[in-house]
Structure 1
Amino acid sequence: MRSIVQERGAGEGAGVRPWSPRAEWAVRLVGLAAVVTTGLTVWLGLWVTPPSQVMGNLVRLVYVHPPVAWVALYLAFGALGLGSVLWLWPRTRHPFWDRLAAAAGEVGAVFTALTLATGSIWGRPTWGVWWAWDARLTSSALLLVLLLGYLALRRVPADPDTRARRSAIAALVALLDVPIVYFSVSWWHGHHALGLRGLHLGLRVDAGHRPADRSPAGRAGGPRAGGGAGRSARRGGTGGRGAKRRRARGGRAGGPGRARAARGAPGPGHAGVGSAVERQEAGMSYIDAGYIVALGVLAVYGVTLAFRRRRLERAVAELRRRREGGA
């Protein structure tokens, strides 16, 4: 913040100009739209959308985790790269591009950390572990480290041009990791490769689940409660020889995962959880935790930005008074 104030007050003929009323209203409208769309996402993700056929209620975390990753990987890093390149180009060099890169780097660091947090919460009930040294996870963690290094480099004391130049070079080096993160699923087949295939299947929801049911009865029913009962009845009922044949066939050919499901034992992602009701309750607890973490981080960061803006406005006003008094 001090560096921005110093830059605005430094240089021949430099002046401190407050935001125009049009820019002020634009910022307020963008903030209001962000709050409304975030609330709409939470409402749709937790109460309106149905569970999926494959992932069940865990698909609700998909409405949070990928959008946060897209903001970090595409919007924030796109602005960071654009600002750094335009500042390094002599014809377009202007302090505005350096400030844009600094703001984008901070936003990218926050959203990359939030991506790793929500992905870890989603991975625990899905993969059975909080963290795996998957190619995408590892490259994303490296991206966060590079962003933190970029922000630390900006705080090293130096004149504005020197700081902007070395920060722009560091940003372009960090950007080399972005295509690695994007193509890591195709280059190295790991957890995310399996997760993407399951996601394409999992987004096909059951026709019998239109509104999301977060009651204990709805959670216990699982994603196949409506259509599954009718299909099993048509194929020979829930009991009798048809069910016995299916259970025997599942135990022989399906491996340990299918055998556990046939016996009602917990799978690898639900260690220590036995019944269907408990598995659904455990899944909903991870979903709630993911939404709470995402909303909490965004709320804290928004409040922090508001306080920092107030401090910056006071510093700019004080600088203007000093300049007018000296004149």
Structure 2
Amino acid sequence: MRAFHVTFEPFSGGCGCGRRGAAVRGADGRTDALRLRAAATAHVACQVTKPNGSTHTRMGIKKLIIFLLVLSLCLEGGSAKEKGTKKGKKKGKQVYCPSQLSSEDLARVPANSTSNILNRLLISYDPRIRPNFKGIPVEDRVNIFINSFGSIQETTMDYRVNIFLRQRWNDPRLKLPQDFKSDSLTVDPKMFKCLWKPDLFFANEKSANFHDVTQENILLFIFRNGDVLISMRLSITLSCPLDLTLFPMDTQRCKMQLESFGYTTDDLQFMWQTGDPVQMDAIALPQFDIRQEDIDYGNCTKYYEGTGYYTCVEVIFTLRRQVGFYMMGVYAPTLLIVVLSWLSFWINPDASAARVPLV
């Protein structure tokens, strides 16, 4: 915090304020909102109580107080706006796509550098247009790795997962040139907005968040044949309607549906990657068992009146409830209580001392 000083100009009336109020200056000779507020406070203090016993009327004091409050609110609003602007500038640094750069900026990049190759790929690239425009639909192969699987919530009928969502599609506009020695190009995640992406969303999602600690959790590759691979880390809460008729010996099937929001099947088609499109390590849940071999896959393409068919794929997790958990926590204690209650029928009715411990 910068130090500042309040100085008062002498005035013949004897008050310590000048005719223009208090002059507030910091060590750097400038004024700011805090200094102006201090000046206004000093000015009001001087005007309210003047020497020789003179005072303002009650109405005059009220007007001065209102003036001070309005001035304070205005100064706080301007200061908050300035801070918000600085924060926004600091948080989001503008990233320009090569198509937005001038010819002079592009000329400064060495001809044999990787940056120049990326500029050549994207100089005339339009991310608003899908690959194979007015041609065959884009095939997006989806792959998921499950980092963690949260417990099922019977009250809200949902579950939470942390996943790596991977998508791979082909964009002929991004084929690497022949003079590029590597088979793939690792691209900074900030360039993600410069490329066309499938508009995938989770149809049965309740809430989700994208991870950005310490950097945005996005991995982006461009391959020689024009394939684009993107991987991102997400935490999602998904709905799962439960059938608790056979509780606690029930088996639940929870879905995760991945659907296109704006592209119909004529423009975009989702499909699971060959092999095991959904992988996970050993996951331990408090009440359920989930295994890799119990995972099923399906197609859930949907039709919406007025817009058409939209591509959709789904994965179904089969969750078997652990009966042993309830045997030890519910059944065994209940059975023991029932057995103890029946023991009272084999005790002599006159033996009251023996009945008391059972109660």
TM-score w.r.t. length of structure 1: 0.20
Name the structure with the higher helix share. Answer: 1
Q: Higher relative contact order by CA 8 Å / sep ≥ 6: 1 or 2? A: 1
Q: Larger radius of gyration, structure 1 or 2?
A: 2
Q: Give the structure-2-normalised TM-score.
A: 0.19
